[in-house]
Structure 1
Amino acid sequence: MPKKILVVDDEPGSILLFESVLKKRGFQVVVASDGDEAIRKARKEKPDLIILDIMMPKLDGTEVAMILREDEVTKNIPVFFITALIAPGDKMEVAGTSANPVFAKPVNLNDLITKIQQQIGT
């Protein structure tokens, strides 16, 4: 059974890109376009990993991650953050999420796939 990844981004183009690349690598992909939808889908779908944009309407990515960490159903799901707030190659500490990788947009897809495979396999 393929590993399931929840991709959360408010930019449709980003969602399509991640969905295409991840499906080609054999992952099952579920998408959400805002924080509220991300929380609902994470609880329902129980993905193996979440790729979460930091800058989103309603709830931002850090708020979503904190809510997921407090939920028994979702607290152990790894979260990878993506953001346009830093330049590629820079490091960023996201408050309360130091164990989570942060990827700068535009995301180096090879690096992302490598980290995903290290975290959850294929």
Structure 2
Amino acid sequence: MGYLNSISGLQADGAPVSGGGLSQDGKFGYGYASCPGKRSSMEDFYETLIDSVDGEIVGLFGVFDGHGGAQVAEYVKQNLFGNLLRHPKFITDTKSAIGGADLHVVL
């Protein structure tokens, strides 16, 4: 799996994070960028993943908004895609897989 991780959306020098990726077969590409807003700290997270499931190439992209705290957004970033890909109906019934992604957040 090719996760692109950014804890704060900023590089160590405070510059915005940006980049992109390409699927293994070279047929699908994407780009991303993250920069801080008005708050003193970044509470948002993002994740990207291109993988193969049951012979199908899938792209998963998420932006997880902290809304006053980073804990839940970080938890979802770390768990959502793995839970979706492991769901037995991910390819055949994606809506059901999203509903059954089992993201139980305990703060």
TM range (shorter): under 0.3
Which gives a bigger RCO, structure 1 or 2 (Cα 8 Å, sep 6+)? Answer: 1
More strand per residue: 1 or 2? 2
TM norm structure 2: 0.27
More helix per residue: 1 or 2? 1
